[in-house]
Structure 1
Amino acid sequence: MTLKAPSTTAQFRLLLQRYAHRVSITCALETGGKLAPESAFAQLETLWQTLQQEATALGIPDEDG
């Protein structure tokens, strides 16, 4: 039995799920006072940039540019 590599769509869906989970945690920490707003913003910015880079690596076009 051979395993098929996940499709680009499935890979991107996993990336989005991971991104959403991390955003949720970051927002909860900031809302709960465990993380400064500036730090939370910086983390969210980094998460977004990482998601964009991973999407580009999968060949998904950037619709912003």
Structure 2
Amino acid sequence: MTLKAPSTTAQLRLLLQRYAHRVSITCALETGGKLAPEVAFAQLETLWQALEQAAKALGIPDVAD
């Protein structure tokens, strides 16, 4: 049995789902007073940068360019 590599679309979908999940958790922690707004913002910025790098590694162009 040969395993087929996930398509770029499937990989992007997974990346976006993970990103959205982490953003949701971070926002909930900030809203609930468990994270300072500055810390939450820094975490969100780090998550965004990681998503951008992963998308670039998949060969997906940056829409801002």
> 1:20 and 2:20 equivalent?
yes
Letter of the 1:59 counterpart = G
What SS does the aligned partner of 1:34 have?
A: coil
C-alpha distance in structure 2 between counterparts of 1:32 and 1:2, whole Å: 47
What is the match of residue 5 of structure 2? 5
The Cα shift of 1:30 comes to 0.1
RMSD, aligned CA = 0.4
Q: Percent identity?
A: 86
What is the match of residue 40 of structure 1? 40
Q: How many residues are aligned here?
A: 65
CA displacement 1:12-59 (0-9 Å, x = unmatched)? 100000000000000000000000000000000000000000000000
C-alpha distance in structure 2 between counterparts of 1:35 and 1:10, whole Å: 32
List alignment gaps of at least 5 residues for structure 2: none
Large movers: runs of 4+ above 6 Å: none
C-alpha distance in structure 2 between counterparts of 1:26 and 1:44, whole Å: 7
